[in-house]
Amino acid sequence: MRLKEKMQGVVPQECLSKLSDGFHVIGNIAILSLAPELASYKNEIAGAVLSSGKNIHTVLNKTSKLQGERRVAGFEFLAGVANTVTTHKEFGFLYRLDVANVFWNSHLGYERIRVAAAVMAGEDVLLPFSGVGPFAVPLAARGAHVLALEKSREACLYLAENARLNRVERMIAIINADACHMAKLLSKDFHRAVIPAPYGADGILEAALPLVKSKGLLHFYTFKKLHQIEPLKKSYEDLGLEVMQARRCGNVAPGVSRWVFDLAKS
């Protein structure tokens, strides 16, 4: 039974239209984004989610958008076990994380596996903004040597734990540093760079370019409107890059999508 159906007769009809049937699940934590009109019914809604039979132990309500350097949202505990730490499973890999303290994006799961599938064993891969390891772990499992840069100390600690959890710790080197300074920190040449850049960090592509070998590959993620894509392709070509592919990876706001550019360095 869908959430709206469960709430029939509990939530007034005029408020029910504000309730979404969907909710975000990370590990055993369900995350709601309840409209203000539903505040009086949040406990009843949370109880329905908790009993949904999806192995959910905790229900949280998202109270703010992603904010700060750590890119984490604010949450309100609603029901179940008062805990924000969980273990999330994605394509057979396990990730331990604290949803209240580190960034996690479930919407890039396909991209993480797609990019990992393209990697050859023995490649050296540069990975700025590595987070708790959702790109690093599959890459390492394919036999790549991953250098992961992450500014958040909490995320680095979880990345180290997740590398051990998935038995790829020998393939991942972690640097707790601002990725924007990587050109000063590193002198190694990489076969490939995977760059899941946060909003507004487009300049990181040019910072990574000197660290990628000639004929090397880059997978660059950015947030753009459709009309910006063709001019962006031209700017990448002007940097000496071949645009092999540009594709949407999900909408993030009205008219704005996350895009991935698969690029080859000349």
Looking at the fold, whether 30 and 121 belong to one and the same domain comes out as: no
In a domain, 197, yes or no: yes
12 part of a folded domain: yes
Assigned domain for 100 exists: no
Give residue-wise pLDDT tens across range 184-207.
Answer: 889 889 999 999 999 889 999 999
Q: Taking the model in full, what pTM does it have?
A: 0.92
**In sequence order, which residues have a C-beta less than 8 Å from that of residue 110 and are 6 or more positions away?**
249
Q: Are residues 123 and 233 located together in one domain of the fold?
A: yes
73 plus 110 within the same structural domain: no
Alpha-carbon Rg for the chain in angstroms:
20
pLDDT, tens digit, for every residue of 42-70? 999 999 999 887 799 999 999 988 776 66
Same domain, 41 and 122: no
Q: CA dist 130 to 83, 127, 196, 205, 235, Å?
A: 24, 6, 8, 15, 25
Residues 20 and 68 reside in one and the same domain: yes
Note whether 249 and 219 are within 8 A (CB).
Answer: no
- Number of structural domains (the chain) is 2
Looking at residue 92, its pLDDT comes to: 96
Q: Domain for residue 15, yes or no?
A: yes
How would you list the strands of the sheet with 24-26, edge to edge? 24-26, 29-32, 58-62, 75-80
Residues 6+ apart with CB under 8 A from 193: 125, 126, 127, 128, 208, 211, 212, 216, 217, 218, 219, 220
Q: 27 with 58, same domain?
A: yes
pLDDT at 177: 95
Give me the CATH number covering residue 176: 3.40.50.150
- 68 and 125 both lie in a single domain: no
Model confidence at 1: pLDDT above 80: no
Maximum alpha-carbon separation in the chain: 64
Instruction: State residue 82's pLDDT score.
Output: 95
**Distance separating alpha carbons of residues 3 and 22, to the nearest angstrom:** 8
Whether 90 maps to a domain, the answer reads: no
136 in a domain, yes or no? yes
**What does the pLDDT look like over 64-91, one tens digit per residue?**
887 766 678 899 999 999 999 999 999 9
Answer yes or no: do 72 and 114 share one domain. Answer: no
How large a percentage of the chain has pLDDT more than 70? Answer: 98
Same domain, 183 and 136: yes
- Range of 196's domain? 106-265
Q: Is the pLDDT of residue 176 over 80?
A: yes
